[in-house]
Amino acid sequence: MDEELEESDALECAQHGKAHVTYVCEHLISHPVQKWHSDYPDAENHWPDAWCAACNVHYLAQGGEWNERNEDLVPIKLMCHVCYEGARSASLARMAGPVFDAWDAFLDTCFEELKTKNDQLNQEFDLGSHQRYDWDQEKAELVFSNGGVPAVIAKIDFIGSYSSRSDTWLWAWANFHLLENIRTRIIAVRDFGESHDYPCLITAKWEAEEGDGWDMAAAAAHVLNAKGVYRSPDRNGASFLLIREICKA
């Protein structure tokens, strides 16, 4: 964790030591593999309060808020933030039956689509042939250059990143180290995930392999009708960048 732990929002987890406090209904703690109802993470709260479908009935009965009439009906427990992320990640296994089949077919289509798009990009711009590339978060640009001279300029969005240290995927919309300008358009992919109830698209961080990064990138390129995806490797894994527009400098 980068953030300093304030005593008031810290707890001692038997498994993970000192950690951030999160609030979760006890049904999700005992059965994490189900739909988690919560707000999305924001810069102030990376682990928003979460409750199960049964508790959500009480929430909706009060017009989508917690107050003195429904709070007592929901058994809320404290959970360490590492346990929270692990349990939320485990909830992805709730996808089954026709939804799983639809998701699988959707990913296949997106992957083929992205392969074609990336092949075309490489034919036109030969992205691997340039000496270096740099991105500028403020301009949301990725610039390929040779000897200090820009050769190709792409308008980009961050899709997300795969960490080989933690074997996790993190969506850019939940990566608050990134500037807003480069992580908010990708929320359209999350909205798409909501409308189809695809948990991989709506869960901020989950246990993954690098191939999952390509799958998410392909889904994002499809939903946002992108020109392609560029993978930028680093010591701890790789970032996946969506190419919205691209031209020779």
Interface ranges with Zn ion (CB under 5 A): 13, 15-16, 25, 27, 51-52, 55, 80, 82-83
Shortest Cβ 53–Zn ion spacing (Å): 8
163, 153 Cβ separation under 8 angstroms: no
What single-letter DSSP state applies at residue 119?
A: H
Shortest Cβ 66–Zn ion spacing (Å): 13
Q: Which is nearer to Zn ion, 57 or 247 (CB)?
A: 57
53: Cα separation from own chain's centroid? 22
Q: Which is nearer to Zn ion, 199 or 213 (CB)?
A: 199
Shortest Cβ 59–Zn ion spacing (Å): 10
* HSE toward the beta carbon, residue 159, CA cutoff 13 A: 30
Q: Which is nearer to Zn ion, 81 or 185 (CB)?
A: 81
121, 228 Cβ separation under 8 angstroms: yes
Q: Which is nearer to Zn ion, 31 or 248 (CB)?
A: 31
- Angstrom distance (rounded) from CA 82 to CA 10: 12
Shortest Cβ 141–Zn ion spacing (Å): 40
Q: Which of 154, 156, 200, 145 is nearest to 179 (CA)?
A: 156
Q: What is the 3-state secondary structure (H, E, C) of 82-113?
A: HHHHHHHHHHHHHCCHHHHHHHHHHHHHHHHH
Shortest Cβ 13–Zn ion spacing (Å): 3
Q: Which is nearer to Zn ion, 28 or 121 (CB)?
A: 28
